[in-house]
Structure 1
Amino acid sequence: MIVDMNKSQLKEEIVSMLQQQHNITLDAVNQAVASATDKETIPEHKYDTLALEAAYLAHGQAMRVTESEERIRQFLALDLPQNPDQVTLGCLVALRDENASLHWFFVSPVSGGLKVNWQGLSIILVTFQSPLGKALRGKELGDDVEYLVGNETKYYQVETIF
């Protein structure tokens, strides 16, 4: 079983993953800028829009870099609650489904859906903006969690809160 003090190690692992995503985004923006400024993209006639399209792509990629930096900043600012009695930001939560299987979630301010393999567990980041996050907010040990995904209702019980 995971001990509470290891949540800081989980946070470091998530930050590392966010930084890897950021580096990939930086590479994409550099490639897009190179393409937009390449002599091969110089318009040959007034209907040649390759350079313009490459510039739009570079701008979009630059916006993704800014968003990625903001996600990292928000995650680094996240306080990890010690011995929480209810689900709040920064909690690691184990939910038991109807088949008695455990599912692990980390309540994050950003990057909902990101999957982290840590200490032999598959942990999914969930935000309070998601259906599951809304259903989890404020829950305590033993509480039932019910939420809708499409037309399907999911049922869990809160097994553990770190």
Structure 2
Amino acid sequence: MNKGHVIEHIKFALEAKLAQAKQAADSAHQDATHEQSAAETQYDSLSIESGYLAHGQSERVNDIHKSIALFTHSFNQDTEIRAKEGSLVQLIDMNNVMHWFYLGPSEGGLKVTVQQQDILVITHASPIGQALFTKQLGDEVVLTVGECTKYFEVDTIL
């Protein structure tokens, strides 16, 4: 797996997410300021609701801008022997199935596909992130969610 290709795919996914959020924010802003959104009675709350939606969408755009800045820093991290933010990690489960994770600063759950392999962005706040951070090659990673426990081995850290 080429870490540079993974980083490019994550950048592209973040930019696409930003473009989608900007479009939603613009649409919500237009709806909030349209003349048909003006309140007709004191009980008409459409304009207020539209304003809240526009504000929320603008906050979403700001959050994605912050995530892109955080990822830019994580992309420049050097490879180390321990899993940390900016690491691309391959785990192998008990059935010899490979799982790829990018340890990111935010946007946990973002998934990209590179060379027909799914790579999931995880953060330190997630259960798998807590179990994985600071692990080394060959270490066992134990993930317990509810009553289900899964075991993995750290196979690759890039």
Q: TM-score range by the shorter chain?
A: over 0.9
**Which of 21, 37, 47 matches 1:41?**
37
The 8 Å contact of residues 7 and 80 in structure 1, kept in 2 or not, is answered as: no
Give 1:149's aligned residue. 145
- Please show how residues 45-60 of structure 1 align to structure 2 within 5 Å: 45-60=41-56
- Please show how residues 1-162 of structure 1 align to structure 2 within 5 Å: 2=1, 6-78=2-74, 79-82=76-79, 84-162=80-158
Structure 1: distance between partners of 2:66 and 2:14: 10
Per the TM alignment, residue 80 of structure 1 is displaced from its structure 2 partner at its CA by 3.1
Q: Could you say what the CA RMSD is over the residues aligned between the two structures, in angstroms? A: 1.1
The 8 Å contact of residues 5 and 114 in structure 2, kept in 1 or not, is answered as: no
Determine what percentage of the aligned residue pairs are the same residue: 38
Structure 1: distance between partners of 2:92 and 2:49: 49
The 8 Å contact of residues 84 and 134 in structure 2, kept in 1 or not, is answered as: yes
Could you say what secondary structure the match of 2:121 adopts?
Answer: strand
The two structures have a TM-score, normalised by structure 2, of 0.94
Per the TM alignment, residue 153 of structure 1 is displaced from its structure 2 partner at its CA by 1.5
The two structures have a TM-score, normalised by structure 1, of 0.92
Structure 1: distance between partners of 2:50 and 2:15: 25
Structure 2: distance between partners of 1:109 and 1:150: 25
Could you say what secondary structure the match of 1:106 adopts?
Answer: strand
Q: After the TM superposition, list the runs of 4 or more consecutive aligned residues in structure 1 that deviate by more than 4 angstroms.
A: none
Q: For this pair of structures, how many residues does the alignment match?
A: 157
Per the TM alignment, residue 92 of structure 1 is displaced from its structure 2 partner at its CA by 1.1
Could you tell me which runs of 5 or more consecutive residues in structure 1 were left unpaired when the two chains were aligned. Answer: none
